[in-house]
Structure 1
Amino acid sequence: MNFPAELKYTKDHEWIRVDGEEATIGITEFAQHELGDIVYVDINTVGNKVAEGEVFGTVEAVKTVSDLFMPIDGTVLEINANLDANPELVNKDPYGEGWMVKIKLSKSADSLLSAEAYKDLVGA
């Protein structure tokens, strides 16, 4: 399983890639593996300020529907429109083309888990 070192992680299995004052967010390879085949992604929070721990959307898999939790306070700038027609991108490339949202950060992401800490959390 892949745990890119340049990313930060949450206990709820989201990842965040920080680039200055903006960040890209998605779900981890572990999460998509546990969910199974992703069939629908529902995110309609563009322009919204979303606090750390709040739900910013849902992901539907064959087995279940799961909430997506914001890893850090921020304003949603963009949603990955490619997921509307191709939700399976989350399974195929969770850290690349399967990203979910881009946000403007309201605070530092330093408090999130490192790749090693997340790896320990999921027992990998």
Structure 2
Amino acid sequence: MTIQFSKDHEWVNAADTAAAVVGITVHAQDALGDVVFVDLPEVGATFAQGDVAGVVESVKAAADVFMPVGGEIVEVNEALRADPSLANTDPLGAGWFFKVKLSDASQLDGLMDETAYGAFAASA
């Protein structure tokens, strides 16, 4: 599984070319603390790269969820809506936020790999 990361602390896994999976990073959920609510986008909504697609709220703060790549939302994680703590317990797995049909796969080239993101997050 190849995961790429944005400077806004979202990850995207585009292994399934039909629908890339998006979520928040371990660093983001660590900074937020216990996640208590997520506002997910509507299926069928279209966003440009960098647009705000949702909100995650924790006991400490609320933060926007940005689109790491542009495209159409094809699925949201209803399990996460029902149990927002999944964003803390399994942020790179069961805590995914939504799936997006990419409008421009070349946008993936501008994202960071795990090594680059680790260095970026350590300096953030």
Q: Which TM-score applies when normalising by structure 1?
A: 0.92
Contact 2:41 2:73 in 1 (8 A): no
Aligned mates of 1:51, 1:45 — CA distance in 2? 15
Pairwise CA RMSD: 1.3
Which residue type is aligned with residue 57 of structure 1?
G
Query: Structure 1 residue 50: deviation in Å?
Result: 0.5
Partner of 1:116, secondary structure, is helix
Q: Which has the higher helix share?
A: 2
Aligned residues: 120
The residue aligned with 1:22 is: 19
Aligned mates of 1:6, 1:44 — CA distance in 2? 24
Query: Structure 1 residue 38: deviation in Å?
Result: 0.1
Which residue type is aligned with residue 58 of structure 2?
A
In the TM superposition, what are the counterparts of 1:61-100 in structure 2 within 5 Å? 61-100=58-97
Which residue type is aligned with residue 12 of structure 2?
I
The residue aligned with 1:116 is: 115
Seq. identity, %: 44
Runs of 4+, deviation exceeding 2 Å: none
Gapped runs of 5+ residues in structure 1? Answer: none
Residue of structure 2 aligned with 1:50, choices 30, 47, 50:
47
Q: Which TM-score applies when normalising by structure 2?
A: 0.92
Residue of structure 2 aligned with 1:8, choices 4, 11, 32:
4
The residue aligned with 1:39 is: 36
Partner of 2:118, secondary structure, is helix
